[in-house]
Amino acid sequence: MMVIVAAVLTIVCVLTMMYLTLMERKLVGRIQDRIGPNRVGPYGLLQPIADAIKMLTKEDITPRAAHRIIYNLAPVVIIPTAFLTFAFVPFGRGMVAADLNVAFLFILGFSSASTISILMAGWSSHNKYSLLGAMRGVAQMVSYEIPLILSALSVILIASSLSLNDIVLAQGGYWFILGQPLAFIIFLISGTAELNRSPFDLPEAESEILAGYHTEYSGLKFGVFYIAEYVATFAMSATATTLFLGGWQGPLLPSWFWFFAKTLIMIFIFMWMRGTLPRLRVDQLMSLAWKFMVPLALANLLMTAILLPLVHENPYLELIALIGGTLVVAAGAIFVATRYARRPGTSSALVPGEGVVAGQ
């Protein structure tokens, strides 16, 4: 039985990743007022296969000064960290491979473990741009884990469980995005930064730092990093769907259909942000994480923790109380942000980029 589940998951995974790459290119193309790939097959549908063949047939170069074993191990290490989240996410009613009651912690652990692979790749390439890209990337990922966890924690408080299945079942009354919109926005932004996607993709920006930590990788090894990024995007979208959009809950149609539809909407939002927003500088994004996201996520958590014991019995009262609390926290955040921003001469705490560089 488990073998069939594993086989289905693998096939679903591989197909989804292939067509996510195509979706990204066509979507970003349309945002940029051009059609995406449309030559290979009808509407470009065979493009991912062409990409795969291209990557497999490229020359596999290893730099002479690279630490050979670590260089070859880095793509190997990133694969489990990206793919293992699929074991914990509930794809439908009763369709979860491992229904642990600490499932969410494992997902978090695997996304933290991907930083090791990036450091390995950057270090072993023996290339200063790779090392710099890797260190920036890891600093960014580690910083944005905190708002990610804190925003998810607010949802876990309401659901009273770390098990993803329980969290989905707890959204039978209302989806958590309605009760925790601020947490959703923080999760979205932190998730984008965790995935090193635009607008937070300075560590791997093509025009800025060559290609960051995977500069020296070619052929199949680069393909593995590329695939792992898309798998992680799908995993992050699936987690966001489970935590905020009600997982597989939905009327009439089968539960897995709702799950994939909602996950696709989340992926669409990630790709939409990539095509639309300009890239942040590394000090801007670190400043955003520590000076804005963390206090905001903490305030949201505080608000939820204070309100929840008072209103937990009644779902309608809970929803209204949480929305009211969110408005208060958002108003406070806007007040603080506008008060401390853009005034020359003040020691600006919140303006990204000012006063962050050492020496003030």
Partner 1 sequence: MNVQLLTNALAGLQPTHLVFLVIAAVTIIGAIGVVSARSVFASALFLILSFVGVSGIYILLGAGFLAAVQIIIYVGAISVLILFAVMLTRNMGTETRSQFNRQAGISLGLCLLLAVFLSLAAGGIEWPISTDQLPANQVIALGQQLLSAQFVVPFEVASIFLLTALIGALFIARE
Question: Least Å distance between CB 266 and partner 1?
Answer: 23
Q: Which of 98, 95, 70 shows the shortest CA–CA distance to 84? A: 98
Question: Cα-atom radius of gyration of the chain, to the nearest Å?
Answer: 21
Least Å distance, CB 284 to partner 1, is 18
Compare residues 252 and 357 and give the one whose CB is closer to partner 1.
357
Separation CA 18–CA 90 (nearest Å)? 22
Residue placing its CB nearer to partner 1 in the complex, 123 or 175: 123
Q: Which residues bind partner 1 (CB under 8 A)?
A: 67, 69-70, 100-102, 105-106, 108-110, 112-113, 115-116, 119-120, 123, 126, 131, 135, 138, 142, 145, 161-162, 358
Q: Cβ closer to partner 1: 67 or 93?
A: 67
Distance of closest approach, residue 269 Cβ to partner 1, in angstroms: 26
Dihedral angle sign, alpha carbons of residues 5, 6, 7, 11: positive
Instruction: Supply 127's token pair.
Output: 């290339």
Q: Which residues contact 202 (CB under 8 A, 6 or more apart)?
A: 136, 140, 208, 209, 212, 279, 280, 281, 282, 285
Nearer to partner 1, 35 or 142 (CB): 142
**Which residues are CB-contacts of 87 (< 8 A; sequence separation ≥ 6)?**
97, 98
The burial class, CB within 10 Å (0-12 / 13-18 / 19+), for 9 is: middle
- Name the residue nearer to partner 1 (CB basis): 45 or 70: 70
- 52/18 Cα distance (integer angstroms): 9
CB of 106 to partner 1, least distance (A): 5
CA distance 262 to 258: 6
Instruction: Please identify, using beta-carbon distances, which residue of 101 and 314 lies nearer to partner 1.
Output: 101
Minimal distance, residue 119 CB to partner 1, in Å: 5
Shortest Å distance, C-beta 153 to partner 1: 12
**Contacts of residue 63, Cβ cutoff 8 Å, sequence gap at least 6:** 71, 125, 126, 127, 216
